Structure 1
Amino acid sequence: MFKNYFKIALRNLVKHKVYSLINIFGLSVGLASCILILLHVTDEYSYDNFHEKGDRIYRMALERKYPDHSINYAIVPHSFADVMHDDFPEIEAITRVGGNNANATTVFRYDDNGEMKIFEETGFLLADSNFFKVFDFPLIKGNIDEALLKPNSMVITASSAQKYFGDDDPLQKVISTDFGDFTITGVCEDVPQNSHLKFDFIGSWNTFPFAQNINYIAFSMAIYTVLHEGASPEELEAKFPQMVETYAASQIEQRLGVSFKDYTAAGNGYNYFLQPLRDIHLKSHLEAEFEPNGNITYVYIFISIAVFILVIACINFMNLATSRSSERAKEVGVRKVMGSERRQLISQFLIESILISTISLILALVIIQLALPSFNNLANKELSFNLFANATIVPALLIFTLVVGLLAGSYPAFVLSGFNPVTVMKGKLISSAKGAWLRNGLVVFQFFISIVLIAGSLLIYSQMEFIRNKSLGYNKDHVLVIQRPGALAESGDAFDKEVMNLPNIKKVGRASTMPGAASAFFFGIQFQPEGSSEVLTTKGMVMDDHFAETINFEMIDGRSFSEDFEDSLSIILNESAVKALGVKDPIGAKLVNTNNFGGQQQVITYTIIGIVKDFNFQSLRDEISPLVIMHPGENTPVNFGFIAVKVGPQDIEQTLAAIEDKWNQIAPEEPFKYTFFDEDLAANYRSEQNSGKIFGIFTVLAIVIACIGLFGLAAYTAQQRTKEIGVRKALGASVFNVVLLLSKEFTKLILIALVIAIPLAWYGADKWLQSFAYRVDINITIFIIAGLSAIIISWLTVSYHAFKAAMVNPIKSLKYE
């Protein structure tokens, strides 16, 4: 029996090639899109799942409360790790991790038998000696208990060992870095891509003297805790406020000269909390993350798109099968007269459906293999699809195919098998109102989804354009950013002057960080207005006498730093800092800072010399907060991290070559590394841009699939109204009138879909935009464009059948059936 069903199904597919190809194409594209999205989503959810203790590992994070705002940090004072293990019985183990973020570079040197190999590396971290006991990064060589135990010891990954030492044994080899010499004491397997902690080199934290300092205030390291089985993270979090009072309060009082009670009463505070390790990648977007994380919102969006695309593809199958109902009706009638039972007919149609879904799956697998490289490039991933990588993949795909086939074929099977043989054999097939409502409802649902996706794509594009074109308060164009100026040592000033003398160079300035870039770091600093007990906590950066002119900061009062003045104790505030101070005449006002930058406590008085117009020194996701700009000197907490060079728009390549030549003359053994400022800023939003592109591609695919279904339904409608069209043409209706007649029915359905889609799309857009402090307004125009796009697409889809029906001779139409 099954063999017979299969033969008939195959014959029907071959006999009706066009409909079969349309069905298979729509379903295969839908399946391929769905599987690609599921690969992406599965990868996002897989982050940090490979750690055996992953369900008990938590990262300690901080909500730093200021009087007028709060900021969440992924790094905390390192000394808490020393006391938490002893004070809290819930903790089984605790380890600290710190070092470069994803964009910071460190120069590594290795003397290979007299030949100096020099590399720039980004994956350099520091950790406690128990790091490899907490996290599952298996050691290939070395002792897990001793690998990071001694100062200046380092573990490297297998690929780094091959890169530096080839087939030689790397153990006990010495690598020189910007932070000193390290001895290789271990080799671990390469870090999986689905880890939020990525590194190529990991050095011992106790290498640095700073590790021995007792610090309960300054944020320096990420702290990870392993809780005992059954321990409650909520109960541990509840003990953190007392921990702050016990250990941090005295340091705060000593540093600021105010009581901890008054300090917190003014609105300051340290709220520590725990983040589950496996939530970090998708749910954590704090200051000082090791790398830009994913976003759970996008995961939910992509899951929804996958479901929608698959449902649209299944709806197409139903509509296309329904559009052929009159052709299949006589077959059903004959089979029923010959004694076929309804369940046999249902089985026949379901097997046809499953056969189509199976062929579609095979084609979808081909599409996936062809599309995966481009998808990986777009999503910045290394996804792979191997049918035999896991024993569950093939059975899962077979079950998936069966479910899709049953879902897509269920409605046609039950409807077609239910035709009355007497009515059918008389040549009369009357479509029920219930069937019409269902078909129309399916079209509304398809275009409801399409309109939501079109509106979403337009909104993402608008927000990205807004970010690209928004005035940030400085000029990002034609600014070259040179990294690691410290490599020039004492010749740095000479390099700046040499570069300034080159043709096509406008300005050269230095700063501790570049505003708005993904790698931007602003230190925290606290001031008290002279004679006041109020504490102003701000972000801080350092710049020289020329940086403000280099990127065009706008001074609205006072002056910038200048070589004509002694500015080592001068500071510049942004408008937000002035507002937070509440000072009416800030120029000339004194601010007192108590610090221990030099290892001992100092009280330093600074003078405000200028006010800079508020600029977006962080990303557009964040509100502009108070900022203090300091002049370089022994009292500043950080050194210059970047040289900014304003170049002319012409002869960029020649200018770059000339600057690199000057660098090589002064520091021939140091790599010359640069970026362009506008590209650095764009990198801050690459995740949103990539997600927007993926969203747009799958939106187009969803619309294409929806149009396939509409194409089939238009054919069905034209067929059902053949006699009506003939009568109308005989009475003088034009081709345009007939086309309009068939098109307006679908236009009504799309307008209904538009009305339903607007509230949902508006809600989703508002939720997404809330992640940006600066964003576009949601405009009804977006939804009008989305609706018009859907209408135009539907007209183009329907017009073929409408025009074809209108061009038929009315005599033939009236003879129909």
Structure 2
Amino acid sequence: MIKKNIKLAFRTLLRSKSFSIINIIGLGLGIGVSLLILKFVSFELSFDKHYTDYDQIYRVPLKRDTPDGTVIKASNVPALAPAITEQIPEVKFAARLFRQNITEPLCIASHKSENGIVSFNLEEAYYADPSLLDIFSYDLIAGSNLSGLKEPNTIILTQTLADKLFKHDSPIGKTISIQTGGMEHLLTELQLLVTGVIADPKKHSHLQFEALISYSTFEENFLTNLTGHWGWTQFHTYIKTTESADLQSLQQKINDLVPTTYKESLAEIGYVHESLLQPVDKIHLNSGFLEEPTSTYSKTMIIIFMIMAFFILAVAWINYINLTTAQSLKRSKEIGIRKVIGAQRTHLIHQFLTEALLFNVLGLLVGLGIVKFIEPFLESIIGRSMEWPPGFNVLSVGVILLLITIIGVIVAGGYPSLVISSYQPLKVLKGKLTVSRSGILMRKGLVVFQFMISIILITTTLFVYRQLTFMQNQDLGIDLDQTLVIKANVGGDSNYRKFNLLKERLRDIPFINSVTATSTIPAKDVASQVFSPLDNKGDEFISGIFAVDYDFIQSFGLNLVAGRSFERTYGSDTSAILVSESTAKRLGYTNVEDAINKDVFYSRFDKRLKIIGVISDYYHSSVKNDKPRLVYQLKHSINPYAPYAYYLVRFKTNNLNEALQSIETAWQTVLPEYQYDAFFLDEYFNQQYLNELRFSKLTGFFAAFAMLIGAMGLFGLVSFTFSLKIKEVGIRRALGASMISLQKHFWKDYLQLIFIAAAIATPICYFSISEWLSSYPIRIQIEWWMLMLPILALSILILLIVGRETLRVGSINPSKTLKQE
């Protein structure tokens, strides 16, 4: 019986080749694209679940309530982890992580070998407590986990960095040199002993690094008294709890560790700090806090992609259902004869389920080929290779494919088999078989569902793209175009002396407009400090502060709304500052002109500073955040911990290749001993929109495939439907109907279905998109034409498909069609 059913299924497939091809390709596209979405989503959901006892590992972020609103930082204070270790028994281990080059200059790791000095740019390295290795189960390749980070001036390398520096030699017990921008008047070169090598962090880990330096190295070489420091909030803190720990009680105990005097000092300026507990496996999709070590993703976006996978499969299965039930009218005599000669209904159901199995299996094979074809393109969008999460193997993927096939057979084959097997043989053989009203409604309902999915997907893609371009095209208040950023990996007094030499050299190049330097750049974090009006020190507030060069305002095209900029002719500028408009207003000057020559108190260094200029506010980070309050100091005159971390070069030419070559040549002339590393500022700034950009491309990518599958199915359904209407068209033509009237007649039915789908899909789109847009402080308005555009596009597609078939069938001579009937 099974062999017979398979043979009949192949005959059916070959009998209607065009519709079989549409079904197989449609199912293949649906299965292939859905499989890719599943692969992408399952990887995103797997983050940080590979650690031993990951459900007992938590990050301790810091929530800060201020008069200006609430912010949550992924990091915390340096005093917290030691206090947790000493006073809370429910915590097995607590550890701090602090980025070693926090001001973000270039950091060089080098090793002197027999063949000379081997050096590399060290992008990601952290000072870490030794207990970090007890919290996270990193794979040890060489050395000892127990002592790897206990002593000062020790370092653990990842496998990749160890291979770069030492090739095939063992790095254990050898010394490497770390050159870092560091603090301006302190050590800028460290000699570190390699005590261990661990495997590279997994790709599905939120914490990525190339090396871990012992935390005691930071304390010994830079700042020592941090165990009791509760104000510096740039230390990522992790804990591992006991199995029986009560999280609510634990969080309260952690917050009780904060000294009362510190809480009171915060309360005086309207601040409340609260430490939170965040499960490590929830960081990647449920965070987006300030100072994240790596970019996170949105749980909402993952849910949307899962819905899209279901929609795409649904469209493919609906195509099969509609085409199969439509073809059933041509197969009605076959069904009638088989019933007359004794075939039971169950036999017919088995037969049609076998056909559905054959189409789904062939579709699956096509889908696997499609996966291989489009996967590289998808990888170029998401910026990494597509991988199944840990624990997935060939068997796991096979089970998924089997489930998709079984569900496809049941969903896509079940309904047609029940409908077709229910035909009454007497009516069939007499030619009196008619399609029931419920059958017509069912088929129209499926078409409406397809249209609804298409409208939702197109609308979503359109709004995501519009919001992304809207954010990218916003006036930032600062000019980032044609600006090259060079990492200033020059420490000590050379930082300024070498910069001035480089600046003079670059000014001789005719197509360079300006050269300046700063301790941070747009899209980078700004150090926050406490300021207050001199006559009211109790009215404290927090503002960002960073160091700039004399030409900073000119280079970035900033608007000086009051006062003047820093000038070389004013020696007193070493104790002067520039402030942003919002800072001036926070100081109490509604008219910013009144702020000029007024004094401000800088509590950290107990300094009195004079305001000499006010700069218009600008977006230092993406427009997803508010314009910050800022204070600008000249060089490191006020804060010694603010070296120039970046040199910035503005062009006035479109010949970028020549300009870049000239700049690098100038660097090699002035700073031959330092590695050259540069990037364009606008490209770096736009990386803040990377998630939105990927989301826009992915939704467009998947929506295009959904539309393609739907269009193929619709084309097949319309073509088949018109093949059954040849007699009706012939009669209408014989009675004098014009081609235009025929097209109007048939268009009407499909346009009604589109309008029904639009009436359902439009409110869904409106409310869901409104909710999504509400998370952006600056956002587009939902305009009626944006909701109507997908409906119009779908209507035009229907008009083209139906119009083509009307012309094809209507051009047949009525005498031939009526004679055949």
Shared fold (TM-score, shorter chain, > 0.5): yes
What residue is the counterpart of 1:651 in the other structure?
655
What residue is the counterpart of 1:614 in the other structure?
617
Instruction: State yes or no: 1:222 paired with 2:236.
Output: yes
One-letter identity of the residue aligned with 2:602: N
**How far apart are 1:351 and its partner, in Å?**
0.8
**How far apart are 1:377 and its partner, in Å?**
1.9
The aligned runs of 1:654-665 (5 Å cut-off) are 654-665=658-669
The aligned runs of 1:313-324 (5 Å cut-off) are 313-324=316-327
What residue is the counterpart of 1:325 in the other structure?
328
The CA distance in 1 between the partners of 2:23 and 2:296, in whole Å, is 39
Residue 102 of structure 1 contacts residue 122 of structure 1 at CA under 8 Å; is this kept in 2?
Answer: no
**How far apart are 1:771 and its partner, in Å?**
3.1
Among candidates 750, 757, 760, match of residue 756 of structure 1: 760
Residue 110 of structure 1 contacts residue 116 of structure 1 at CA under 8 Å; is this kept in 2?
Answer: yes
Cα offsets for 1:646-677 (capped at 9, x unmatched): 11123322222222112112221211111111
**How far apart are 1:435 and its partner, in Å?**
1.1
What residue is the counterpart of 1:598 in the other structure?
none
Summarize the Cα distance change of 1:499–1:341 in structure 2 as closer, same or farther, 3 Å threshold: same
What residue is the counterpart of 2:709 in the other structure?
705
Instruction: State yes or no: 1:802 paired with 2:799.
Output: no
Summarize the Cα distance change of 1:241–1:549 in structure 2 as closer, same or farther, 3 Å threshold: same
**How far apart are 1:766 and its partner, in Å?**
2.1
What residue is the counterpart of 1:150 in the other structure?
151
The CA distance in 1 between the partners of 2:177 and 2:664, in whole Å, is 24
The CA distance in 1 between the partners of 2:433 and 2:603, in whole Å, is 90
The CA distance in 2 between the partners of 1:103 and 1:395, in whole Å, is 47
**How far apart are 1:483 and its partner, in Å?**
1.0
Among candidates 400, 410, 414, match of residue 410 of structure 1: 414
Instruction: State yes or no: 1:573 paired with 2:608.
Output: no
* Equivalent residues, number: 797
What residue is the counterpart of 1:495 in the other structure?
502
Residue 710 of structure 1 contacts residue 798 of structure 1 at CA under 8 Å; is this kept in 2?
Answer: no
Fraction of identical pairs, as percent: 30
**How far apart are 1:485 and its partner, in Å?**
4.8
The CA distance in 2 between the partners of 1:670 and 1:575, in whole Å, is 38
Among candidates 553, 557, 562, match of residue 552 of structure 1: 557
Give the SS at the match of 1:18: helix
Cα offsets for 1:518-557 (capped at 9, x unmatched): xx02011111112212112122222121111101011112
Among candidates 578, 595, 598, match of residue 586 of structure 1: 595
The CA distance in 2 between the partners of 1:388 and 1:589, in whole Å, is 65
What residue is the counterpart of 2:135 in the other structure?
134
Residue 139 of structure 1 contacts residue 188 of structure 1 at CA under 8 Å; is this kept in 2?
Answer: yes
The CA distance in 2 between the partners of 1:626 and 1:384, in whole Å, is 42
Among candidates 192, 195, 208, match of residue 202 of structure 2: 192
Among candidates 644, 648, 655, match of residue 640 of structure 1: 644
**How far apart are 1:265 and its partner, in Å?**
5.6
Residue 106 of structure 2 contacts residue 677 of structure 2 at CA under 8 Å; is this kept in 1?
Answer: no
The CA distance in 1 between the partners of 2:361 and 2:700, in whole Å, is 28
Cα offsets for 1:274-303 (capped at 9, x unmatched): 111001011111111111111111101110
**How far apart are 1:152 and its partner, in Å?**
1.3
Residue 539 of structure 1 contacts residue 628 of structure 1 at CA under 8 Å; is this kept in 2?
Answer: yes
**How far apart are 1:720 and its partner, in Å?**
4.5
Larger CA deviation: 232-241 vs 775-784? 232-241
What residue is the counterpart of 1:253 in the other structure?
none
The CA distance in 1 between the partners of 2:502 and 2:736, in whole Å, is 86
What residue is the counterpart of 2:185 in the other structure?
none
Among candidates 492, 511, 521, match of residue 525 of structure 2: 521
Structure 2: 5+ residue runs without aligned partners? 181-189
The CA distance in 2 between the partners of 1:507 and 1:816, in whole Å, is 84
Instruction: State yes or no: 1:432 paired with 2:428.
Output: no
The CA distance in 2 between the partners of 1:672 and 1:491, in whole Å, is 14
One-letter identity of the residue aligned with 2:500: D
Residue 615 of structure 1 contacts residue 624 of structure 1 at CA under 8 Å; is this kept in 2?
Answer: yes
What residue is the counterpart of 2:187 in the other structure?
none
What residue is the counterpart of 1:393 in the other structure?
397
The aligned runs of 1:709-748 (5 Å cut-off) are 709-748=713-752
Normalising by the residue count of structure 1, what TM-score does the alignment of the two structures yield? 0.94
The CA distance in 2 between the partners of 1:88 and 1:794, in whole Å, is 67
Structure 1: 5+ residue runs without aligned partners? 250-258, 596-601
Larger CA deviation: 376-385 vs 436-445? 376-385
Residue 66 of structure 1 contacts residue 537 of structure 1 at CA under 8 Å; is this kept in 2?
Answer: no
One-letter identity of the residue aligned with 2:603: T
One-letter identity of the residue aligned with 2:9: A
What residue is the counterpart of 1:536 in the other structure?
541
One-letter identity of the residue aligned with 2:110: R
The CA distance in 2 between the partners of 1:606 and 1:218, in whole Å, is 22
Summarize the Cα distance change of 1:811–1:428 in structure 2 as closer, same or farther, 3 Å threshold: farther
What residue is the counterpart of 1:504 in the other structure?
511
The CA distance in 2 between the partners of 1:653 and 1:624, in whole Å, is 34
The aligned runs of 1:334-483 (5 Å cut-off) are 334-384=337-387, 389-483=393-487
The CA distance in 2 between the partners of 1:554 and 1:364, in whole Å, is 56
One-letter identity of the residue aligned with 1:203: I
The CA distance in 2 between the partners of 1:542 and 1:752, in whole Å, is 61
Give the SS at the match of 1:392: helix
One-letter identity of the residue aligned with 2:511: N
Residue 620 of structure 1 contacts residue 774 of structure 1 at CA under 8 Å; is this kept in 2?
Answer: yes
The CA distance in 2 between the partners of 1:136 and 1:105, in whole Å, is 29
The CA distance in 2 between the partners of 1:486 and 1:768, in whole Å, is 44
What residue is the counterpart of 2:32 in the other structure?
32
**How far apart are 1:247 and its partner, in Å?**
6.9
Residue 40 of structure 2 contacts residue 387 of structure 2 at CA under 8 Å; is this kept in 1?
Answer: no
**How far apart are 1:341 and its partner, in Å?**
1.0
Instruction: State yes or no: 1:564 paired with 2:569.
Output: yes
The CA distance in 2 between the partners of 1:294 and 1:310, in whole Å, is 25
Residue 138 of structure 2 contacts residue 199 of structure 2 at CA under 8 Å; is this kept in 1?
Answer: yes
Residue 127 of structure 1 contacts residue 202 of structure 1 at CA under 8 Å; is this kept in 2?
Answer: yes
One-letter identity of the residue aligned with 1:577: T
Give the SS at the match of 2:276: strand
Give me the CA root mean square deviation: 2.0
Summarize the Cα distance change of 1:330–1:61 in structure 2 as closer, same or farther, 3 Å threshold: same
The aligned runs of 1:209-288 (5 Å cut-off) are 209=219, 210=223, 212-213=225-226, 214-246=228-260, 248-249=262-263, 260=265, 263-264=266-267, 266-288=269-291
**How far apart are 1:88 and its partner, in Å?**
1.8
One-letter identity of the residue aligned with 2:585: K
Cα offsets for 1:357-408 (capped at 9, x unmatched): 0111111112212222222221122224699934332233223211112111
**How far apart are 1:266 and its partner, in Å?**
4.5
The CA distance in 1 between the partners of 2:679 and 2:567, in whole Å, is 27
Give the SS at the match of 1:208: helix
Cα offsets for 1:26-64 (capped at 9, x unmatched): 000000000000000000011111001210111000112
**How far apart are 1:699 and its partner, in Å?**
0.4
Give the SS at the match of 2:72: strand
What residue is the counterpart of 1:89 in the other structure?
89
**How far apart are 1:633 and its partner, in Å?**
2.8
**How far apart are 1:162 and its partner, in Å?**
1.8
Larger CA deviation: 191-200 vs 631-640? 631-640
Summarize the Cα distance change of 1:409–1:590 in structure 2 as closer, same or farther, 3 Å threshold: same
The CA distance in 2 between the partners of 1:332 and 1:671, in whole Å, is 79
One-letter identity of the residue aligned with 2:757: A
Larger CA deviation: 468-477 vs 110-119? 110-119
**How far apart are 1:709 and its partner, in Å?**
2.0
Larger CA deviation: 632-641 vs 749-758? 632-641
Give the SS at the match of 1:116: strand
Residue 369 of structure 1 contacts residue 385 of structure 1 at CA under 8 Å; is this kept in 2?
Answer: no
What residue is the counterpart of 2:109 in the other structure?
108
Give the SS at the match of 2:157: strand
The CA distance in 1 between the partners of 2:102 and 2:573, in whole Å, is 32
Residue 101 of structure 1 contacts residue 291 of structure 1 at CA under 8 Å; is this kept in 2?
Answer: no
One-letter identity of the residue aligned with 2:805: H
One-letter identity of the residue aligned with 1:500: R
Residue 101 of structure 1 contacts residue 288 of structure 1 at CA under 8 Å; is this kept in 2?
Answer: no
Give the SS at the match of 1:244: coil
Give the SS at the match of 2:257: helix
Larger CA deviation: 786-795 vs 628-637? 628-637
